[in-house]
Structure 1
Amino acid sequence: MLTVLASCGQGQGAGTPGAQPTAVAGADKLVACPPTESRPPVSNGLPDITLPCLGSGPDVRLADLRGPLVINVWAQWCPPCRDEAPYLAELQKKAAGKLQILGIDYADPRPELAVKFARDRELNFPHLVDSEKLVRKTFKVGGPPVTVFVDKDGKFTLHNGVLTSQEQLEQLVRERLGVEL
Structure 2
Amino acid sequence: MRLPVAAVALLAAGVLLTGCDGVAPSFACKVDATTPDLVQDREAAGIADCDPASWSAGDGAAARLPDLELDCLGGEAGAALSRVHGPAVLNFWSSNCGPCRKEMPALQEFYEEYGDRITVLGVNWLDTYPGAAIDLARLSGVTYPSLADGCGDLQETDAPLGAGLPFFLFVAEDGTVSKPHTGGVTSSDEVVAMVEETLGIDLAAAKATP
Residues 1-181 of structure 1: pairs in structure 2 closer than 5 A: 10-11=26-27, 21-23=34-36, 24=38, 25-28=40-43, 29-36=46-53, 45-136=64-155, 138-157=159-178, 158-177=180-199, 178-181=201-204
Inter-CA distance 113–96: structure 2 relative to 1 (3 Å threshold): same
Q: Any unmatched runs of 5+ in structure 1?
A: 1-7
Tell me the TM-score normalized by structure 2. Answer: 0.69
DSSP-derived class of the 1:162 partner:
coil
Counterpart amino acid of 2:162? Answer: V
Residues 12-50 of structure 1: CA deviation (Å, up to 9, x unaligned): 7x9xxxx8643414113321111459xxx97x8212211
CA distance in 2, matches of 1:9, 1:132: 14
More helix by share: 2
CA distance in 2, matches of 1:79, 1:20: 24
Residues 132-166 of structure 1: CA deviation (Å, up to 9, x unaligned): 11234623232210111111222111212422543
**1:10: how far off?**
4.4
CA distance in 2, matches of 1:103, 1:179: 22
Counterpart contact for 2:107–2:187, Cα < 8 Å: no
Inter-CA distance 171–101: structure 2 relative to 1 (3 Å threshold): same
Residues 68-127 of structure 1: CA deviation (Å, up to 9, x unaligned): 111100011000101211210110111031111111111112111100111111111111
Which is further off, 106-115 or 154-163? 154-163
Q: Which has the larger radius of gyration?
A: 2
Inter-CA distance 132–141: structure 2 relative to 1 (3 Å threshold): farther
DSSP-derived class of the 1:102 partner:
strand
CA distance in 2, matches of 1:169, 1:161: 9
Counterpart amino acid of 1:135? Answer: L
**1:54: how far off?**
0.7
CA distance in 2, matches of 1:107, 1:10: 12
Q: Any unmatched runs of 5+ in structure 2?
A: 1-23, 55-60, 205-210
CA distance in 2, matches of 1:20, 1:114: 12
Tell me the TM-score normalized by structure 1. Answer: 0.79
Inter-CA distance 126–89: structure 2 relative to 1 (3 Å threshold): same
Runs (4+) off by over 6 Å: none
CA distance in 2, matches of 1:56, 1:140: 25
CA distance in 1, matches of 2:27, 2:102: 30
